[in-house]
């Protein structure tokens, strides 16, 4: 007993000490010739395939720069904001990533997040340190646009009052309403809307809902699903009874987009299905069953899909294909562009001062990148206003049409 | 009216599947008073095997007879797999804990459930996987204006005979009698010459076999499996078993049907988002007012 | 059966210094730990940064686990829904403090109200259900956890749904004491929350100690060991169990308040699901049922595993390029579930009383296996 208690006491203290010492063992003083870029993406769980392509895009950007930018060497660190326990992103992991980036004096850019809910956690933290945050995928409107999100957004994400966040992908205030306009143009008269209750999914479903009512499409119902549920047969029976022309699902592949599509088809619903960019990945088609979606599933995406990119964009797609043996998923080029933005800002600033780098990034007004020529507006949003609609044919996404916000009237509420 | 009927039909079909899983829980609880938390994940592993077998034998796209034969074969193979696995787990994990306080086997079952989940994670990967559509999607009741396909029929066609077979087993065979004896009083059963451990192992086997059958039906009916499916399904099935009276076989069936109906009707009339809360709220209420469940017998604690 | 120490004495008959120090550490581990943890932020600079936040969260989980310990450890009732009370405490606290609502109470008031309300909810749930047998109670708590999670998610107008309620203001927002703007201090320097959590944890540990040795504490243990005998001795089993439930809910609620304050958001309702409850349960069981040092050790090991060891191992694997394809099989955290599961099975088989057991429980659990 004696020895055991002693051993256990030692274990106890070792546990405490290791918790304190282990993470700091990698600490070294700031290296004036080194800059680090970190990304915070969900690297475990079902979103892994998406984040894999984004990470590859970032790596390609860093490699193309030859591992150097201006007078500095660059290192890229791929951080995970999800945990194995949760199988998806968690507030704690995201906050820990943000703090870790802040504490490391060599880190000058933070590429993240993938999920809009996670960005809400790290934005205020990074804002306190003026660390540049470029998101390749956040689309929730409240992160940057005043008056469109919840009360207080986006000021609550900027405790210092200064901006540090920007995103290379158009926000949902584009995608949601334009989807409704597209539906109207197509002759849809009734819709049934579903969402996954998440920040992104519910956000875009609400925007779609609002716009439908504005343009005269009848909303027969709007329900939230439990993303942990296994099947939706009863729900689909209710939807079928309402008999909509179009079923809209605001959500992602991970929040059961595929299963909904399956159950929709097996319930005998004849309407078309429309989903936002959170479902724009091959995994969605596979999980729903290609035959189920054939010709009746339409996916919107803020920006151009890989096969439609031109100039630098198509070069990126080619290089990606050579390196990895497959064409990139939709978000890969956004990861690449986000990294290019960070690199360009570092190069222009010429120093490791975070504020200077952030200012240079936010000052981008005419960037010639893989996504085309675009710039940031005063809120840190991209000036790119292209939305594409793709249809699922033959088990793949096939480009259908471009919706340009300049042509469609987008009424900001 | 038709809408109500359709929801009831969905509820009964779902409920039958839940009942099949619930039987596994109720049998194990009946015999050794253990809530087998790992049962749902056992079924997940059965589904993994089913998927692998279907892919390996290229079953998608066969003729009608071949398909039904293939399904029957799958049911038997996965049933044997899950049954055997269950027996192994009992032998390795639960048997040494026969005389330990209740907490030990309960927590061990949670541990086994985690291990199964991890195996499922390696087997399937972190995302959900699609189960091929083996059965035709033609609507058999299109005339009545209802949706009822071969898949739904399959559930009832497999579940009902299995339940009847189980009742027969428990009521009319010697082994069944031994099972009932052990569940009533293991010490007395041992005294009259019943090999208690063998009987318990057999119970685990039967429970596991039913679970394996359920896993095949689940795959064919829902067409999606994932390494996390065990928890949700296990929870509903377990609720059904408790609702009907844990330890009672007809209770598990009734409980399963009730849970299935509650789920579909609450989704239809209250809203999909509240279904989870409603099911468990009903569970809590039933347990408060009738702890032995709908068909269970009240157990008096003896000093 | 008192602990036998064979104190070796040297030639002059005095106990050597080394043995004396070890004995002191063994006996007053709590004082030693408290001093070490209190001094740590001054010595370890990393605690002023990301690590400080992580250790604060560790302390909060310790508090939560101590709350669960009252139910599972002392009273022997399996509780599978402690995360629900954690969440209720966090959300109530947030409702009472966020600018969206008119309450906007100070930290201490809001925490007090939230803790009391959570205890009340625990009483409300416990009153009709505590007479159920152990297994059934476990299921009721499990079901309650699910109901709470779904309700928090669906009552969007009140709870913000999946967005959660934010921003939760830091303690002392707007107060300036001794020239220090408290709110700003809490927001910027994680060490403030570190100390707040540490002090609260110390307080909870002291309270638990006192309870252990009080009449109520002994009544809890009596009910655990033999409910019928206890009631034959005049202890109202239901009332005792109810008090355990209320105390456990209150402590969980307190942990929730600290959690919401330290994260400055309630996070989404999925943070308070069955996974969380099971993690805390595992920590209590693996560390040592009914034993305070055991519970703390269990939490430290489990949380340390998840937030320190796993990410470090994963990034080491990434750096050494052992797992280029990114498969779960070769990653460390891919094995997490199996490791936890195996630990539970092995501990229940060979050492069900946990790593640092309470002596009484160890005796009780081993009586069948001498």
CA distances for C192 relative to A125, A206, C55, C198, angstroms: 16, 40, 12, 10
- pLDDT confidence tier of residue C298, bands split at 50, 70 and 90: very high
List, as ranges, residues 164-203 from C with C-beta within 8 Å of A. 166-167, 187-188, 190
- pLDDT confidence tier of residue C13, bands split at 50, 70 and 90: low
Tell me the chain C residues in contact with residue B101 when contact means C-beta distances shorter than 8 Å. 352, 364-365
What integer pLDDT is reported at residue A400 of this predicted model?
86
- Nearest Cβ partner for C265 among A11, A83, A91: A91
What integer pLDDT is reported at residue A287 of this predicted model?
85
Q: Are A225 and B273 a contacting pair at CB < 8 A?
A: yes
Q: Are B7 and A259 a contacting pair at CB < 8 A?
A: no
List, as ranges, residues 14-73 from B with C-beta within 8 Å of C. 29, 33, 35
Note the helical H segments in C70-155.
82-97, 107-129, 134-154
- Count of CB atoms within 10 A of residue A402's CB? 12
Output the six-digit token pair for A266.
């097996």
- Chain A's closest residue to B114, CA to CA, is A85
List, as ranges, residues 330-369 from C with C-beta within 8 Å of B. 334-338, 340-345, 348-349, 352, 364-365, 368
Residue B161 CA to residue C29 CA, distance in Å, equals: 62
Mean pLDDT of the residues in chain A: 85
What integer pLDDT is reported at residue A24 of this predicted model?
45
- Chain B's closest residue to A239, CA to CA, is B268
* Cβ–Cβ contact B93 with C under 8 A: yes
CA distances for A3 relative to A347, C5, C6, C23, C26, angstroms: 60, 10, 11, 11, 11
Q: ∠ at Cα A67 (A79, C323), nearest 5°?
A: 45
Residue B92 CA to residue B109 CA, distance in Å, equals: 12
- Nearest Cβ partner for A128 among C53, C163, C188: C188
List, as ranges, residues 236-255 from B with C-beta within 8 Å of C. 238-239, 242, 246
What integer pLDDT is reported at residue A25 of this predicted model?
42
List, as ranges, residues 182-201 from C with C-beta within 8 Å of B. none
What integer pLDDT is reported at residue B302 of this predicted model?
43
Mutate to test the interface with A, among C51, C165, C287, C297 (most CBs of A within 10 A): C51
What is the tens place of the pLDDT at every residue in C155-214?
A: 888 888 877 787 788 887 767 777 777 777 777 778 888 999 999 999 999 999 999 889
Q: By three-state DSSP, how is residue B149 classified?
A: coil
Tell me the chain C residues in contact with residue A11 when contact means C-beta distances shorter than 8 Å. 297, 355
Tell me the chain A residues in contact with residue B137 when contact means C-beta distances shorter than 8 Å. 266
Tell me the chain C residues in contact with residue A18 when contact means C-beta distances shorter than 8 Å. 304, 308
Residue C253 CA to residue A92 CA, distance in Å, equals: 19
Helix C274-287 × helix C50-69 angle, to 10°: 80
Chain A closest CA to C82's CA: distance in Å?
A: 17
Query: Chains near C, with 3+ CB pairs < 8 A?
Result: A, B
Chain C closest CA to B282's CA: distance in Å?
A: 9
Residue C32 CA to residue B257 CA, distance in Å, equals: 58
Residue pair C261/C193 in contact (Cβ under 8 Å)? The answer is yes
Q: Which strand (E) or helix (H) includes residue A275?
A: strand A272-275
- Chain A's closest residue to B235, CA to CA, is A229
Average pLDDT over residues C290-302: 90
What is the tens place of the pLDDT at every residue in A244-253?
A: 999 999 998 8
In the sheet that holds A190-195, the strands lie side by side as A218-224, A190-195, A246-250, A272-275, A297-302, A386-393, A396-404
Average pLDDT over residues C11-23: 77
What integer pLDDT is reported at residue C348 of this predicted model?
87
Under 8 Å CB pairs connecting chains A and C tally to: 144
What is the tens place of the pLDDT at every residue in A2-48?
A: 555 555 555 555 555 555 454 444 445 667 889 999 999 998 777 88
Q: Are C348 and B301 a contacting pair at CB < 8 A?
A: no
- Count of CB atoms within 10 A of residue A386's CB? 21
Assembly ipTM = 0.87
Mean pLDDT of the residues in chain C: 84
* Cβ–Cβ contact B84 with C under 8 A: no
Q: Which residues partner with C328 through β-bridges?
A: none
Output the six-digit token pair for C33.
């730990």
Nearby residues of B227 by Cβ (< 8 Å), 6 or more positions away:
B44, B117, B120, B121, B123, B124, B125, B126
Query: Chains near A, with 3+ CB pairs < 8 A?
Result: B, C
Note the helical H segments in A114-192.
116-128, 172-185
Q: ∠ at Cα A259 (A254, A265), nearest 5°?
A: 145
Give C264 or A6, the one with higher predicted confidence: C264
- Nearest Cβ partner for B111 among C128, C147, C345: C345
Chain B closest CA to C170's CA: distance in Å?
A: 33
Tell me the chain A residues in contact with residue C356 when contact means C-beta distances shorter than 8 Å. 8, 12
Mutate to test the interface with C, among A15, A43, A142, A324 (most CBs of C within 10 A): A15
Residue A313 CA to residue A296 CA, distance in Å, equals: 29
Residue A335 CA to residue A329 CA, distance in Å, equals: 11
- pLDDT confidence tier of residue A107, bands split at 50, 70 and 90: very high
Output the six-digit token pair for A227.
């993303």
- pLDDT confidence tier of residue C3, bands split at 50, 70 and 90: very low
- Nearest Cβ partner for B128 among A197, A225, A258: A258
Residue pair A395/A290 in contact (Cβ under 8 Å)? The answer is yes
Average pLDDT over residues C315-326: 71
Among A82, A20, A21, which residue's Cα sits nearest to residue A51? Answer: A82
What integer pLDDT is reported at residue C131 of this predicted model?
81
* Cβ–Cβ contact B233 with C under 8 A: no
Tell me the chain B residues in contact with residue A44 when contact means C-beta distances shorter than 8 Å. 126
Give A207 or C32, the one with higher predicted confidence: A207
Mutate to test the interface with A, among C59, C163, C194, C340 (most CBs of A within 10 A): C163
> Rounded to 5 degrees, what are φ and ψ at A72?
-110, 155
- Nearest Cβ partner for A231 among B222, B265, B273: B222
What integer pLDDT is reported at residue A5 of this predicted model?
56
Share of chain C above pLDDT 70, in %: 92
Residue B264 CA to residue B14 CA, distance in Å, equals: 9
Chain B closest CA to C39's CA: distance in Å?
A: 38
Residue A1 has pLDDT above 60, yes or no: no
Q: Residue C314 half-sphere exposure, CB side, CA atoms within 13 Å?
A: 27
Residue pair A85/A91 in contact (Cβ under 8 Å)? The answer is no
Q: Which strand (E) or helix (H) includes residue C265?
A: none
Q: Are A45 and B229 a contacting pair at CB < 8 A?
A: no
pTM of this prediction?
0.85
Among A246, A159, A148, which residue's Cα sits nearest to residue A204? Answer: A148
Enumerate chain A positions whose Cβ falls within 8 A of a Cβ in B.
Answer: 44-46, 48-49, 87, 197, 223-226, 228-235, 237-238, 240-241, 253-254, 258-259, 262, 266-268, 283, 286-289, 291
Residue B89 CA to residue B24 CA, distance in Å, equals: 14
- CA atoms C82, C85, C86, C87: torsion sign: positive
Output the six-digit token pair for A401.
């049409």
What integer pLDDT is reported at residue B100 of this predicted model?
82
Share of chain A above pLDDT 90, in %: 42
Residue A5 CA to residue A382 CA, distance in Å, equals: 61
Among C110, C115, C116, C122, which residue's Cα sits nearest to residue C84? Answer: C122
* Cβ–Cβ contact C18 with B under 8 A: no
Average pLDDT over residues A277-282: 88
Among A80, A20, A42, which residue's Cα sits nearest to residue C54? Answer: A20
Query: Chains near B, with 3+ CB pairs < 8 A?
Result: A, C
Q: ∠ at Cα C60 (C56, C61), nearest 5°?
A: 115
Tell me the chain A residues in contact with residue C264 when contact means C-beta distances shorter than 8 Å. 124
Give C12 or A380, the one with higher predicted confidence: A380
CA distances for C10 relative to A3, A88, B9, C16, C20, angstroms: 20, 59, 84, 7, 12
Range with the poorest average pLDDT among A44-48, A106-110, A322-326: A44-48
Q: Which parts of chain B register pLDDT below 50?
A: 300-303
Residue A204 CA to residue A208 CA, distance in Å, equals: 6
What integer pLDDT is reported at residue B301 of this predicted model?
43
Residue C286 CA to residue A82 CA, distance in Å, equals: 25
* Cβ–Cβ contact C162 with B under 8 A: no
- Chain C's closest residue to B103, CA to CA, is C78
- CA atoms B143, B148, B153, B159: torsion sign: negative
Alpha-carbon dihedral angle through residues A89, A93, A97, A98, given to the nearest 10 degrees: 90
- Nearest Cβ partner for B267 among A45, A46, A234: A234
Average pLDDT over residues A361-384: 90
Tell me the chain A residues in contact with residue C154 when contact means C-beta distances shorter than 8 Å. 197, 224
- Count of CB atoms within 10 A of residue B81's CB? 22
Residue C128 has pLDDT above 60, yes or no: yes
């Amino acid at each position: 007993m004696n020895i055991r208690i002693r051993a256990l006491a030692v274990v106890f203290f070792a546990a405490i000490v290791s918790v304190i010492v282990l993470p700091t063992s990698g600490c070294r003083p700031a290296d004036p010739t080194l800059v680090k870029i970190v990304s915070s993406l969900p690297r475990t769980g079902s979103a892994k395939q998406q984040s894999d392509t984004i990470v590859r895009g970032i790596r390609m950007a860093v490699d193309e720069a030859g591992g150097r930018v201006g007078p500095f060497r660059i290192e890229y660190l791929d951080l995970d904001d999800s945990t194995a326990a949760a199988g998806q992103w968690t507030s704690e992991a995201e906050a820990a990533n943000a703090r870790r980036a802040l504490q490391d004096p060599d880190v000058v850019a933070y590429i993240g997040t993938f999920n809009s809910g996670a960005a809400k956690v790290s934005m205020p933290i990074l804002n306190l340190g003026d660390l540049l945050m470029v998101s390749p995928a956040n689309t929730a409107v409240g992160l940057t646009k005043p008056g469109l999100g919840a009360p207080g957004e986006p000021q609550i994400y900027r405790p210092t009052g200064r901006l540090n966040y920007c995103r290379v992908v158009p926000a949902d205030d584009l995608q949601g309403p334009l989807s409704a306009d597209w539906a109207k143009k197509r002759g849809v008269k009734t819709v049934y809307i579903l969402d996954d209750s998440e920040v992104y999914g519910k956000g875009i479903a609400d925007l779609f809902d609002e716009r439908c009512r504005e343009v005269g499409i009848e909303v027969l119902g709007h329900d939230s699903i439990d993303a942990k549920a296994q099947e939706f047969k009863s729900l689909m029976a209710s939807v079928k009874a309402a008999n909509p022309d179009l079923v809209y699902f605001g959500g992602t592949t991970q929040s059961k987009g595929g299963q909904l599509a399956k159950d929709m088809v097996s319930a005998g619903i004849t309407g078309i299905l429309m989903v936002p960019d959170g479902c724009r990945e091959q995994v969605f088609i596979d999980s729903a069953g290609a035959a189920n979606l054939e010709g009746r599933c339409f996916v919107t995406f803020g920006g151009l899909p890989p096969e439609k990119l031109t100039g630098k964009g198509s070069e990126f797609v080619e290089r990606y294909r050579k390196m990895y043996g497959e064409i990139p998923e939709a978000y890969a080029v956004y990861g690449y562009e986000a990294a290019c933005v960070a690199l360009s800002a570092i190069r222009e600033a010429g120093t490791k001062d975070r504020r200077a780098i952030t200012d240079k990034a936010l000052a981008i007004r005419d960037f010639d990148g893989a996504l085309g020529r675009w710039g940031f507006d005063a809120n840190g949003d991209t000036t790119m206003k292209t939305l594409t609609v793709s249809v699922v044919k033959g088990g793949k996404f096939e480009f259908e049409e471009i919706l340009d916000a300049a042509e469609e009237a987008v009424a900001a509420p | 009216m038709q809408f109500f009927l359709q929801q009831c039909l969905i509820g009964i079909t779902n409920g039958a599947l839940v009942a099949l899983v619930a039987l596994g829980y109720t049998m194990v609880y009946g015999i050794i008073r253990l809530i087998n938390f790992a049962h749902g994940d056992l079924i997940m592993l059965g589904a993994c095997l089913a998927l692998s077998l279907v892919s390996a034998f290229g079953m998608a796209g066969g003729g009608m007879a071949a398909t039904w034969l293939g399904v029957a074969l799958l049911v038997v193979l996965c049933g044997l797999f899950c049954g055997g696995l269950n027996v192994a787990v009992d032998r390795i994990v639960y048997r040494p804990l026969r005389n330990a306080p209740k907490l030990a086997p309960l927590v061990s079952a949670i541990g086994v459930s985690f291990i199964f989940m991890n195996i499922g994670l390696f087997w399937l990967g972190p995302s959900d996987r699609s189960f091929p559509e083996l059965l035709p999607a033609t609507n058999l009741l299109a005339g009545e204006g209802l949706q009822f396909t071969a898949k739904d029929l399959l559930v009832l066609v497999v579940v009902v005979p299995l339940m009847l077979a189980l009742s027969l087993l428990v009521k009319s065979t010697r082994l069944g009698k031994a099972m009932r004896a052990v569940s009533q009083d293991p010490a007395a059963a041992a005294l009259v010459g019943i090999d208690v451990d063998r009987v318990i192992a057999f119970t685990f086997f039967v429970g596991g076999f039913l679970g394996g059958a359920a896993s095949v039906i689940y795959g064919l009916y829902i067409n999606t499996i994932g390494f996390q499916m065990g928890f949700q399904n296990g929870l509903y099935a377990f609720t059904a078993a408790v609702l009907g009276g844990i330890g009672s076989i007809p209770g598990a069936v009734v409980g399963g049907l009730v849970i299935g109906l509650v789920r579909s009707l609450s989704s239809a009339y209250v809203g999909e988002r509240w279904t989870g809360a409603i099911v468990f709220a009903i569970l809590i209420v039933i347990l408060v007012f009738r702890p032995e469940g709908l068909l269970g017998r009240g157990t008096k604690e003896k000093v | 059966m008192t602990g036998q120490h064979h104190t070796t004495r040297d030639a002059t008959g005095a106990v050597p210094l080394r043995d004396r120090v070890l004995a002191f550490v063994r006996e007053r581990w709590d004082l030693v730990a408290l001093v070490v943890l209190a001094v740590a932020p001054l010595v370890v600079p990393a605690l002023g940064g990301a690590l400080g936040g992580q250790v604060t969260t560790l302390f909060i989980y310790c508090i939560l686990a101590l709350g669960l310990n009252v139910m599972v450890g002392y009273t022997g009732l399996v509780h599978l829904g402690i995360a629900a009370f954690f969440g209720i405490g966090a959300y109530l606290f947030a409702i009472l403090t966020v600018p969206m609502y008119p309450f906007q109470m100070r930290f201490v008031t809001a925490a007090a109200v939230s803790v009391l309300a959570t205890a009340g909810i625990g009483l409300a749930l416990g009153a009709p259900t505590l007479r159920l047998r152990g297994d059934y109670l476990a299921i009721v708590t499990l079901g309650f956890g699910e109901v709470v999670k779904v309700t928090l998610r669906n009552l969007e107008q009140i709870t913000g749904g999946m967005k959660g309620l934010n921003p939760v203001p830091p303690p002392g927002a707007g107060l300036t004491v001794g020239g220090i703007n408290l709110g700003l201090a809490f927001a910027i320097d994680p060490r403030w929350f570190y100390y707040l959590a540490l002090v609260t944890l110390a307080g909870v540990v002291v309270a638990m100690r006192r309870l252990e040795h009080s009449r109520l504490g002994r009544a809890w243990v009596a009910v655990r060991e033999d409910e019928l005998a206890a009631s034959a001795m005049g202890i109202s089993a239901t009332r005792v169990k109810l008090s355990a439930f209320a105390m456990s809910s209150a402590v969980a609620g307190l942990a929730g308040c600290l959690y919401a304050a330290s994260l400055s958001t309630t996070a989404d309702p999925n943070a308070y699901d069955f996974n969380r409850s099971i993690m805390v349960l595992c920590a209590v069981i693996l560390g040592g049922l009914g034993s305070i040092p055991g519970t703390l050790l269990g939490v430290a090991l489990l949380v340390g595993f998840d937030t320190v060891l796993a990410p470090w191992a994963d990034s080491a694997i990434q750096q050494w390029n052992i797992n280029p394809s990114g498969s779960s099989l070769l990653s460390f955290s891919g094995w997490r579930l199996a490791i936890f599961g195996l630990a539970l099975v092995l501990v229940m088989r060979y050492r069900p009383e946990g790593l640092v057991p309470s002596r009484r429980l160890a005796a009780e659990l081993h009586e069948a296996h001498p």
